[in-house]
Amino acid sequence: MGGKKKQRSELFDNVEFGIFLLTVWVFRSLSLKNAYRLSKAIFVLLYYIDFKHRTRVIQHLLHSGMAATREEAVSLAKKNCDHMAKVLVEITKIDQCINGENYKEKLSVKVSDPKAREILTGKPRQVIVITAHLGNWELAGSAYCWQGDVNMTSIMRPLNNPKIGDYVYRHRTNSRHQTVSREKGLRPLLKALNAGDTLAIVADQHARTGEGVETLFFGHPVRTHATPALLHLKTGIPLWPCFLIRQDDEFHFAFESDGLIEYTPTGDKDADILKITQMVNDAIEKFIRRHPDQWIWAHRRWLDINRKNHKTPHQETAA
């Protein structure tokens, strides 16, 4: 059940957007190093005053098993807070730090599978890129277009504040990278694939009833969007779990992937969708385990924690 969205005040949206623009202006006025420092200070303050999200991150780290104790969860939550502070800075300074001329100095490829590695090192191939809110997902689209020498269409989810959303999506796209709202369904995605574009899907968020299938993530039930599986079954185009991971504090990132998902249908469509979707979840989980500080742990991802119909007394007190 998706539930009704809360009505937002236009005044609140305008004030929030004004604060956002001021933040963007300040960060863009500073060097990358100083912008990181300022953002970290802001996020440390938010970490201590935003009880709800701090508690949720700690709960999720314990629930997933990424942290065995509360102390480990708190330590990783603070590292995650530092990561999110850097992502905010990087979003505001993308065009100041990287472009179609200098991207080779900023990007590297750490892809173990030879066939997949070729896609980013001189032999482009049409794929459906599966990624997550891991590393820097906002930079990933443009970076992939430059590195892979391809045109890309990515699915976007409208943000709660439409003015901030318009700003972010305008700065995410370029002449080779366009976005399409997920609310428009499969048709524009198939059109992009038929035109030869690479498609990118951020596939780590909760799917409402009717939009996804129930799978496992870190051993717990989740509802995951079936779009990647549907597109793969319909087109035969490989799915490619690939992530842009921060390497240092000098705006260096690496594409990381273990290979392609190429599934042979069995004829049982529902079973095939479930199997492929679980393969997508498993691939995303694998890379979150490698870089647990670089994923958004505040996502309400699991069905058996932080959801009205699935809470238990143990989960309520876990943090």
Q: What is the pLDDT of residues 251-269, one digit of tens each?
A: 999 999 999 999 999 999 9
State the Cα–Cα distance between residues 223 and 212, nearest whole angstrom.
Answer: 6
pTM of the model: 0.90
Based on C-alpha coordinates, what's the Rg of the chain? Answer: 19
How do residues 119-137 score in pLDDT, each as one tens digit? 998 788 899 999 999 999 9
Whether 302 contacts 216, CB under 8 Å = no
SS3 string of the chain?
Answer: CCCCCCCCCHHHHHHHHHHHHHHHHHHHHCCHHHHHHHHHHHHHHHHHHCHHHHHHHHHHHHHHCCCCCHHHHHHHHHHHHHHHHHHHHHHHHHHHHCCCCCHHHHEEEEECCHHHHHHHCCCCCCCEEEECCECCHHHHHHHHHHHHCCCEEEEECCCCCHHHHHHHHHHHCECCEEEEEHHHCCHHHHHHHHCCCEEEEECCCECCCCCEEEEEECCEEEEEECHHHHHHHHHCCCEEECEEEECCCCCCEEEEECCCECCCCCCCHHHHHHHHHHHHHHHHHHHHHHCHHHECCCCCCECCCCCCCCCCHHHHCCC
Question: What is the pLDDT at residue 313?
Answer: 35
Which pLDDT belongs to residue 311? 42
What's the confidence (pLDDT) of residue 160? 76
Average pLDDT (71-78) is 98
Distance separating alpha carbons of residues 127 and 235, to the nearest angstrom: 10
Strand order in the sheet with 239-241: 177-181, 152-156, 198-202, 128-131, 239-241
Which span out of 3-12, 153-162, 185-194, 258-267 was modeled with the highest average pLDDT?
A: 258-267
The tens digit of pLDDT for each residue in 159-180 reads: 777 788 777 777 666 778 888 8
Specify the pLDDT at position 309: 53
